[in-house]
A = this chain, B = another copy of it.
Amino acid sequence: MNQPIQGQSGQALLFLTDDQLRKGIEAMFFAYRGFTADPDRILEDMAYGRAHHRAIHFIHRSPGTTVNNLLGILGVTKQSLNRVLRTLIADGLVSSTVGHRDKRERHLHLTEKGAALERSLSDAQRERMRTAYRAAGPVAVAGFRQVLEAMMDDEMRHHYRAMVDKPDGR
C-alpha cells in the first residue's frame, strides 16, 4: 500500500485504495470543523455569521477590492453578498467608496472597527493553524498546501494563486 509506481511521464503514481481516500475525506470533514470553530464562537454572540467572516477576511486581504471581485472570490450571488455587506457597512465595519476611474465600482475597505474584528477573528484562526503547523512540522506543512491546492477547482486555484503570490497581501 502507498507504494509509488513509476508513471509514464516520470511522475510517481500512487496505488490508492478506497480506504485511504476515505480517510482523507473524513480528515477534511473533521479538520474543517476545527478550522471554523474558533471564529464561529466569536461571531455567535454578535449578529454575524460565517459569511460575514469571509467577507471581512477578503476585504482585509485585498483592501479596495470591488464588489464584483469579491463575488468571484466568494462564489456566491450578489444578493447573498449584498445582504452581508449591507449590515457590515451599516454597522460601520466596512466602508464603500465610489471608484475613481470607474464610478460604477465601489471600493471596499475595513474601518478601524472592522479591522479590530478582523484581528480578533484571524488571531484565533491563526493560533490554531500555528499549533497544527508546529505539531506537524515543515515537511508536512508543504505537503498539506500541495494537496489542498491540487484539490481546488481551476477557478478557485486561480484566485488562490493570485492572492498567495502577492508578497504581503496588499
User: Chain A interface mostly helix, strand, loop or mixed?
Assistant: helix
Given A21-B130, A160-B27: A143 in contact with B152 (beta carbons within 8 A): no
A141 touches B151 (CB 8 A): no
Query: What residues of chain B lie closer than 8 Å to A19, measured between beta carbons?
Result: 168-169
How many residues of A are counted as interface, with CB atoms below 8 angstroms from the partner's CB atoms?
66
Residues of B within 8 A of A75 (CB): 33
Q: Is the CB of A132 within 8 A of B151?
A: yes
A132 to B146, CA, bound (A): 8
Residues of B within 8 A of A13 (CB): 134
Chain B residues within an 8 Å CB radius of A148: 27-28, 30-31, 144
Which of B12, B30, B133, B168 contacts A137, CB < 8 Å?
A: B12
Chain A residues with a Cβ under 8 A of chain B = 2, 4, 11-14, 16, 18-19, 21-35, 37, 54, 57, 61, 75, 122, 125-126, 128-153, 156-157, 159-160, 163-164, 168-169
